[in-house]
Amino acid sequence: MSRLTNCRAIGAGIVAAAGAALVLGAGPGAAVPDTGSAGAGTADLSLAISSGFDTCYLAITNNGPGTAHNVIAVPSSLAALVAGGPPELLGTVPAGQSRTAYFNGCGFIHGTPLTYSVFSTTADPNLSNNTVTY
């Protein structure tokens, strides 16, 4: 393997580990689950993507019913990681609200799919809408 390939593999592993740690609630900023009515401890995050000249815009929406804590947008393919950079921590997203994450590289890698995911320390019963490919 070349040095560049090794660096990319190590970088992808670090991003995956950091995303997993945040999802599992490890480290600083681990959230206390919501309390209240049944279902209040879950949030349904969804992800949509659009592009400008060289920027991927990820619209992260919390469809509820509870608040999503420690929301993080993650480049989940090697091409997206190399092109766009590290994960973006978006913090807390209340039910019914959205946040936008920005990643570079959408205009420069033609023909290579860029995949992004969104995670939270709050339970999400519908993971099918948490990943998008540009």
Interatomic CA distance for residues 59 and 55, integer angstroms? 13
Which residue has tokens 């947008």? 73
Domain region containing 107:
3-133
Rg (CA), the chain: 15
Helix (H, G, I), strand (E, B) or coil at 20: helix
- pTM for the full predicted model: 0.69
Q: Which residues contact 9 (CB under 8 A, 6 or more apart)?
A: 1
pLDDT 10s digits, 77-133: 888 888 888 999 999 999 999 999 999 887 666 678 889 999 999 999 999 999 998
Instruction: State pLDDT tens for residues 49-81.
Output: 998 888 889 999 999 999 999 999 999 988 888
Residues composing the chain: 134
CATH (domain of 100):
2.60.40
Sheet containing strand 55-65, strands side by side: 43-51, 55-65, 98-104
User: What is the count of structural domains for the chain?
Assistant: 1
